[in-house]
Amino acid sequence: MTKLVNQLIKPESILIEQTALQMAAAFYEHGRSLGFTSKYKNPRDYAKKNVERFIPLAVNQLMDMLASDAISKEMKDGIYDAFLERANDPELSNNGIKAFENIFADTFVSDKVVDQKPVVWNTPTIESFLGIEKDGKKN
């Protein structure tokens, strides 16, 4: 991904896929350590090709993390946001992966309110730097 895309994607947007990729890579490494052979040269290649198989496992793992008392509130909020984002988007939720099927995705309207904050705030202007007030008079 490019630098701009990395800045625009929130962590919860790809949390499920990242978890699935990590689980696939761990599965590959465990299999190799047991002596199994593979047509894939490294865990990354294996994970890229098999990520969809590990998404249901990642969903189950993240759901278990939501129920755990050992997980911080911030982590739980990120996991919860990832599930909400997936459940409320018909293109993401009904893409053929059984774990994300949602028959209500087309009609559901979320009541979640996200505070819209300005991207740039308290930006000094040339006028403020030069000491000129808004009416054009110099201080």
**pLDDT tens for residues 47-91?**
999 988 898 889 889 989 999 999 999 999 888 888 887 766 666
Residues in the chain: 139
Percentage of residues of the chain with pLDDT beyond 70: 55
What's the pLDDT score for residue 128?
66
Domain ranges of the chain: 10-105
Tell me the pTM.
Answer: 0.60
What's the pLDDT score for residue 2?
55
Which value, to the nearest 10 degrees, does the dihedral of the CA atoms of residues 76, 56, 98, 44 take? 110
Say how many CA atoms lie within 13 Å of 2 toward its Cβ: 3
Q: Which residue, among 65, 51, 46, 50, has the nearest Cα to 18 in the 3D structure?
A: 51
Task: Report how far residue 139's alpha carbon sits from residue 137's, in angstroms, rounded to the nearest whole number.
Answer: 7
Q: Which three-class secondary structure state does DSSP give residue 131?
A: coil
Q: With 80 as the cut, is the pLDDT of residue 32 above it? A: yes
* Backbone angle region of 32, left / alpha / beta, with phi > 0 → left and psi within -120 to 50 → alpha: alpha
Q: With 70 as the cut, is the pLDDT of residue 102 above it? A: no
Q: Which three-class secondary structure state does DSSP give residue 3?
A: helix
> Residue 90 in contact with residue 105, Cβ under 8 Å?
yes
